[in-house]
Structure 1
Amino acid sequence: MKAVVFDGEKLSLKYDEKYPMPKILNDEDVIVKVEYSGVCGTDLHIIQGEFPARKDRPLPLGHEFSGIVHEVGNKSIFKKGQKVVVDPNRACNLCNFCRGGNYQYCLRAGINSTIGIWNDGGWAQYVRCPQDQVYALPDGITTEQAGLCEPYSCVAHGFDRAAPIPVGSKILIVGAGIIGNLWVTTLHLQGHRDVTVSEMNKTRLDIVKGLETGYRLINPDVLAAEKQLYDVIIDCTGVGKVMEINFNYLCHGGKYVLFGCCPPTHQATVNPYQIYDKELTIIGVKINPFSFPKAIGLLSTSTIRSLVSKHIHSPSIRTR
């Protein structure tokens, strides 16, 4: 089959017999024919050597993907031809973290067994997945829309981590890439209107404007000049220095949601006295435990077509 494969140093396109077609190994396995697979910022960090991933053998990256059931094991609940989306993360179900409902902390599975990072992912025509990581799509959601299900599930988890966020809160979103825009749609659906989006790239701000939320759109220079304070800051940049600057814009009792995934080498300095004096809260967000059903719900109520920046019509990425 065709696959875009990462060998720990570079990407290469493999054809036919050069990368093997996956086979059913367990009775509950599902082989998904990939229709859409996203390119995540984490994928770029992996390629740049900034994020841990499997290196003992080449494998296709891609942990955001959807498609059609191609083949199933004897005990699978899925049927050939079903539209599905895949949660790349899972629990080991044995450690205290997993049994406590927090498999994002799992040291055996969790992010350490992610499809597309540690196991073969969606930058291929076909992927073998355990059925407990596969979700059937409702009739109203296309496989194209479902390509955003994994990042939406992370946003849903982040929203839960930051809750409660009372309607009327003054909110700042820093960074208007795809994740920032998914936060925009989520907050708007939840009734939030006093939201500012800070982004240095005008093209990205134009995309946010096209969502017609009425949110205030500015660049970081305006943010620095105003020195306004916010109840909640959602950092979607993945840049440590950004946190160092924007942490100063929290009001008393404020929450800083560190959502963007920073490379392990990034550092940021914050003032502990500010945390004490203002009773500030720093919230980390890691992957998407049990939040795929919420993401599917968000997909069914959001206008997200304008957030798809580009289709790559390659049989290695999109196989319709």
Structure 2
Amino acid sequence: MEAVLFNGTELKLSYVKNYPMPKITNDTDVIVKVAYSGICGTDLHIIAGNFPATKGTIAMGHEICGVVHEAGKKSIFKKGQNVVVDPNNSCNLCDNCRKGKYQYCLVGGNNDTIGIWKDGGWAQYVVVPQFQVYALPDGITLEQGGVCEPYSCVAHGFDRASPLLIGSKILIAGAGIIGNLWVTTLHHHGHREVTVSEMSKTRLDIVKKMDTGYRLVTPDVLAEEKQLYDVIIDCTGVGKVMEINFNYLATGGKYVLFGCCPATHEATIHPFQIYQKELTIVGVKINPFSFPNAISWLKAFGDRYLNYEKLGVKTYKLSEYEQAVGDLKAGVIAKALFKV
């Protein structure tokens, strides 16, 4: 089968036509014929060597949507079902997992992620345990399911940041795909006092297509006006951005650190500000048990918010992986998806 492989030792990608087909080894395994698989910002960090991943060679891709190709004899899934895959799992034994917080698991969580530590969705087929598979209900297309995994992360972030009171002044820093998904989420939930800050005017033009009426600015405007915000959602994954934007929090404000920063990034903040303003810093890690929320959001959002062109999503063949990664790095698109 076709696949885009990542060599974790050499930090290189390659396209092959003869990667072995996955096989069912457990009675509850499911083989998914991949329809869409995304390239995440985390994937770019992995390729650059800035995020822990396998040292072996695997098909990457942890954002997976497709159709059941084959199911183990004890699986609840049937051939032909449209499904999405939660790439993260739990050990079910440690204190964190038994408290329902497998994002902290030292064995599961993102320490055993499909597409990071073992074969994922940058291939025509992938095998996964059935407990990591969710059926897509009627009314949600496979195309819409292609953004389910990143929405599941946003859903967890939304829960962590809540309550987000209507009328709050909110700043979204960064208009890559995650920033855009936050734009759709906040707008759907009734928020209108929202500013989006992004260095790339190309990306700001993409946000305009979503027709939310949100204020769109470049970071220099924030520095000039020094407006304060009740909530800041950082989707940049850049430590220096947090250092700067932390000063724009109003009293009682929340800083939601959503973008995944490389481990080498640092930011300097003044603890006195946290004391004086009673500020809250909210970290968000992966998507524990938030796929049901994300699927419900997809059904509620529909084409109003899930149109690929409006979101800045472009699809590519697996063989076009170099162009896909290049376009994403150049910022001419918000999101690259393999249409397999």
The TM-score, its normalising length taken from structure 1, stands at 0.97
Q: In the superposition, relative to structure 1, how do residues 308 and 25 fare at CA in structure 2: closer, same or farther (>3 Å)?
A: farther
Q: 2-side partners of 1:210 and 1:36: how far apart?
A: 23
1:125 touches 1:315 (CA, 8 Å); kept in 2?
no
Partner of 1:128: 127
1:70-108 CA-to-partner distances (Å, cap 9, x unmatched) read 011010000001111101011111110000010000001
Q: 2-side partners of 1:313 and 1:73: how far apart?
A: 29
Q: Equivalent residues in 2 for 1:1-320 (5 A)?
A: 1-8=1-8, 9-16=11-18, 19-55=19-55, 57-302=56-301, 303-305=305-307, 306-314=310-318, 317-319=338-340
C-alpha displacement at 1:112, in angstroms? Answer: 0.5
C-alpha displacement at 1:315, in angstroms? Answer: 6.7
2:62 touches 2:116 (CA, 8 Å); kept in 1?
yes
1:311 is paired with a residue whose SS is strand
Which amino acid letter does the alignment assign opposite residue 15 of structure 1?
Answer: K
C-alpha displacement at 1:190, in angstroms? Answer: 1.1
Which amino acid letter does the alignment assign opposite residue 260 of structure 2?
Answer: C
C-alpha displacement at 1:309, in angstroms? Answer: 2.3
Which amino acid letter does the alignment assign opposite residue 186 of structure 2?
Answer: L
Cα RMSD over matched residues? 1.1
Name stretches of at least 5 consecutive residues in structure 1 with no aligned partner.
Answer: none
The TM-score, its normalising length taken from structure 2, stands at 0.91
Q: 1-side partners of 2:120 and 2:88: how far apart?
A: 11
Q: 2-side partners of 1:41 and 1:251: how far apart?
A: 29
Q: 1-side partners of 2:318 and 2:25: how far apart?
A: 28
Which amino acid letter does the alignment assign opposite residue 299 of structure 2?
Answer: S
2:30 is paired with a residue whose SS is strand
2:4 touches 2:318 (CA, 8 Å); kept in 1?
no
Identity of aligned residues (%): 72
Name stretches of at least 5 consecutive residues in structure 2 with no aligned partner.
Answer: 321-337
Q: 2-side partners of 1:65 and 1:315: how far apart?
A: 17
Q: 1-side partners of 2:142 and 2:94: how far apart?
A: 34
C-alpha displacement at 1:308, in angstroms? Answer: 4.5
Q: 2-side partners of 1:291 and 1:284: how far apart?
A: 16
1:116-147 CA-to-partner distances (Å, cap 9, x unmatched) read 00111000111000001101111111111111
Q: 2-side partners of 1:218 and 1:53: how far apart?
A: 35
C-alpha displacement at 1:277, in angstroms? Answer: 0.6
C-alpha displacement at 1:207, in angstroms? Answer: 1.3
Q: 2-side partners of 1:72 and 1:300: how far apart?
A: 26
C-alpha displacement at 1:314, in angstroms? Answer: 3.7
1:174 touches 1:235 (CA, 8 Å); kept in 2?
yes
Q: 1-side partners of 2:244 and 2:288: how far apart?
A: 30
1:22 touches 1:31 (CA, 8 Å); kept in 2?
yes
Q: Which runs of 4+ in 1 moved over 6 A?
A: none
Q: 1-side partners of 2:312 and 2:134: how far apart?
A: 21
Q: 2-side partners of 1:63 and 1:261: how far apart?
A: 15
Q: How many equivalent residue pairs?
A: 316
1:156 touches 1:291 (CA, 8 Å); kept in 2?
yes
Q: In the superposition, relative to structure 1, how do residues 69 and 315 fare at CA in structure 2: closer, same or farther (>3 Å)?
A: farther
Which amino acid letter does the alignment assign opposite residue 121 of structure 1?
Answer: G
Q: 2-side partners of 1:318 and 1:25: how far apart?
A: 27
Which amino acid letter does the alignment assign opposite residue 12 of structure 1?
Answer: S
Q: 1-side partners of 2:59 and 2:312: how far apart?
A: 22
2:294 is paired with a residue whose SS is helix
